[in-house]
Amino acid sequence: MKLKTKFLLVVLMVTLLQITFLVPAQAGYDYIDIVMNGNYLYTDVPPVMYQNRIFVPMRTIFEASGVTVDWDQYLGEITATDGRNELIMYVEAYDAYLNGELIYLEVPPIVVYGRTMVPIRFIGETLGYHVWWDEYSQTVFLE
């Protein structure tokens, strides 16, 4: 086999592995709806199911809650503030800081389709919402 052909096969295999293992599975869900205080939240990137947790674009959930969010792409750092509290998280890191106090996450923020996604249950509960999942309607409710 020619060297060029071998190289192309390796590139193809690596690409297929990345698609298979790095793109979160939707776990059979066509689309996951998010309802906050009775209002549907619309996202530019759909929510995803990953490691049995629902992730949403970080700006969607924070901005809908009136929280200011800053993103440092070099550090992978998310800083969310609401005037009283400050939450700092890092992409792919299980530790976060709420007002300087260390908190361990069950699942860390991830990047999917070029967007930083955060676990909605953790974010919702940290912001003071009661969060629940209705599997029948494929909807996450935050009240």
Question: Residues 47-97: pLDDT tens digits?
Answer: 999 999 999 999 999 999 999 999 999 999 999 999 899 999 999 999 999
Q: Is 37 helix (H, G, I), strand (E, B) or coil?
A: coil
Number of domains in the chain: 1
* Residue 116 placed within a domain: yes
- What is the reported pTM? 0.77
* Contacts (Cβ under 8 Å, ≥6 apart) of 54: 32, 47, 48, 119, 120, 121, 133, 140
Query: Hey, what amino acid is at 65?
Result: S
Q: Is residue 76 part of a domain?
A: yes
Task: Answer whether residue 82 is part of any domain.
Answer: yes
> Which residue range is the domain that position 90 belongs to?
26-142
> Considering the domain boundaries, does residue 18 fall inside one?
no
